[in-house]
Amino acid sequence: MSLQSRRLAAARRYALVLVDLSLGFTDPGLSPLASEAGAVLDANARLLAAFRERSLPVFFTTVAYERDDQARVFREKLPALEVLQAGSGLERIDPRVAPRDDEPVLVKQWASGFFGTDLAARLRAAGADGVVVTGLTTSGCVRATALDALQHDLRTVVPREAVGDRDPDAHQANLKDLGIKYADVLSVDETLALLG
């Protein structure tokens, strides 16, 4: 028996959360964690321009490790994460979607943009009751961030063209699951229409 799911009512004010669009995930020549992400970056650039035009809040996340005791079990499970050392340059947001000076880049060590950061408090302070979650990777940090957004009672949208994954099957499976249980998975055009 399949679950019944319905589309969420629109939020009054959305914030854009761009998850891990850093060189460690966007440049396959530099990092084993990266995949070809040109189309994902293009979709994010469209969304970023729309949020900026409307003066809506924008937040970036990146992963960087400064100490051996940070996210020890996560790094044991996925040794490729070791390349994401603070100061390596891989934590820098891809210049194709570079943040402005007033757009915070939250450094995290785990999958979710909420875990161990002040993202929830920043969203509340910005008056956001909804989030548009984009970035890399769909099956990992995007999924974890979208799930935690719902758990913070935020109306959550995942624009399908603005997220990507190294594994196409995992990408599709996670979009399907997110759309049934945790978020509205929409096109970029549908997402932009929500902004008014």
Q: Does residue 61 come out as left (phi exceeding 0), alpha (psi in the -120 to 50 range) or beta?
A: beta
Catalytic member of 141, 146, 157, 186: 141
End-to-end CA distance of the chain: 37
- Look-up of token digits 């961030």: 145
In angstroms, the CA 111 to CA 105 distance is: 15
The CA distances from residue 82 to 19, 72, 137, 192, in Å, are: 18, 10, 17, 36
Return the bridge partners of 133, or none: 17
Joined tokens for residue 76? 């044991």
Whether 165 is catalytic = no
User: Residue 160 to residues 32, 69, 76, 81, 106: CA-CA distances in angstroms?
Assistant: 23, 35, 30, 25, 23
List residues with catalytic annotation: 141
